[in-house]
Amino acid sequence: MPLVRDRCICLRITEYSETSQIVTLLSRDVGVVRAIAKGAHRKTKAGAGKFDGGMDYLEVGEAVFIFDPAKEMATLTEWTLREGHLALRNTLRGIYLALYAGELVDRLFELHDPHPEVFDRLESTLPLLATDRREQAFLALELEVLRESGYLAELDICVECGRPAGGTPMSYFSAKLGGVVCRDCEAVVPDRRTIDNRLVRIVQGILKLPRHSGTTLRLPFLTRHQTDPINRMLADHVQHTLGRGLAMGRWVLGNS
């Protein structure tokens, strides 16, 4: 079985035994990988050396793992920490958004389906979540993940009749139908969510902005007053897509 060495982001950790962990990694070249880290908790020089003293959520590191595409579980043999994102620990909102982002990537992508642009986006976004640019950075990441996974909602035309949506102060969104609904059709869509059309235009604008090296250029500054309704709308869409909501949703989205 091939030995893979790649830059990875740790998305999830599950305790497996007193000495080992099951980790979910986002590998830039392989995609989402589940791997067993045997001896990750061993308090020996050899055990601590292989895994750089242990692993934590959202850390970026150089991973070496034994990988067989036909098998669900790889074996992690080495982990060298490159970025621990310590600044995130100083902002509760930032860490909540980061954990939500990691969960979103983990749930929406199949195993071993590489998306280097998503890796680059997540890696470049995590430091921004510790700054006052966190809201727009997270939203841009969220939209990128939905677009690259093939689950981006339809935001330009009515999913019920196919005509251009918008043109009124309020828009309507249906998670069941997977997109916006026009004023003429909203009465026959029971699960519609009302949202200010200006917020829908913000999302449309972000999706059209140029991107470079995992970063959306010229992102507008956004506040939670703007992003909270958008994030709730997209969370409805994700919940319908997956059949259940994300665990971190209650901390990121608040009351809907």
The domains of the chain are located at 1-84, 86-256
Whether pLDDT at 64 is above 50: yes
What sign has the CA pseudo-torsion 38, 4, 80, 247?
negative
CA distances from 72 to 2, 113, 188 (A): 14, 12, 43
What is the value of pTM for the model shown?
0.92
Q: Tens digits of per-residue pLDDT, 70-118?
A: 999 999 999 999 999 999 989 999 999 999 999 999 999 999 999 999 9
Is CATH 2.40.50.140 what the domain over 1-84 is classified as, yes or no?
yes
Determine which of 36-40, 125-129, 225-229 has the lowest per-residue pLDDT on average. Answer: 36-40
Nearest of 200, 221, 227 to residue 96 by alpha carbon = 227
Q: Per residue in 70-108, is it b (16+ CB within 10 Å) or e — as a string?
A: eeeebbbbbbebeeebeebeebebbbbbbbbbbbbbbbb
Whether pLDDT at 215 is above 60: yes
Q: What is the rounded CA–CA span in Å between residue 248 and residue 99?
A: 7
Q: What is the rounded CA–CA span in Å between residue 42 and residue 151?
A: 41
| % of residues, the chain, pLDDT over 70 | 95
Query: Which CATH class for the 86-256 domain?
Result: mainly alpha
- Centre a 10 Å sphere on the Cβ of residue 157 and count the other Cβ atoms it contains: 15
